[in-house]
Structure 1
Amino acid sequence: MDGPVLPDHLGPGLRAVFCGTAPGLASAARGHYYAGPGNRFWEYVHAAGIVPVRLAPGDDARVTGYGIGLTDLVKGMAQSHDRGLPYDVPALAEKVAAHRPSWVAFTSKEAGSQAARWLGCPRPALGAQDWTFESARVFVLPSPSGRNQGRASYDGRATRLEWWAELGRMLSPA
Structure 2
Amino acid sequence: MSDAITAFQRKLHLWKSQVDKDDLAHFPVCQSISASFPGAFSCTPLATKLSRLIDEFDQRFSDFRRQRSNFAIFANPFTIDVDSAPYNLQLELIDIQSDSCLRAKFEDVKIEVLLLCAASRFDATAPTSRCPYSVTVWEHLSVRTHIFNNESKQD
More helix by share: 2
* TM-score, normalization by structure 1: 0.24
More strand by share: 1
Higher relative contact order (CA 8 A, sep 6+): 1
* TM-score, normalization by structure 2: 0.26
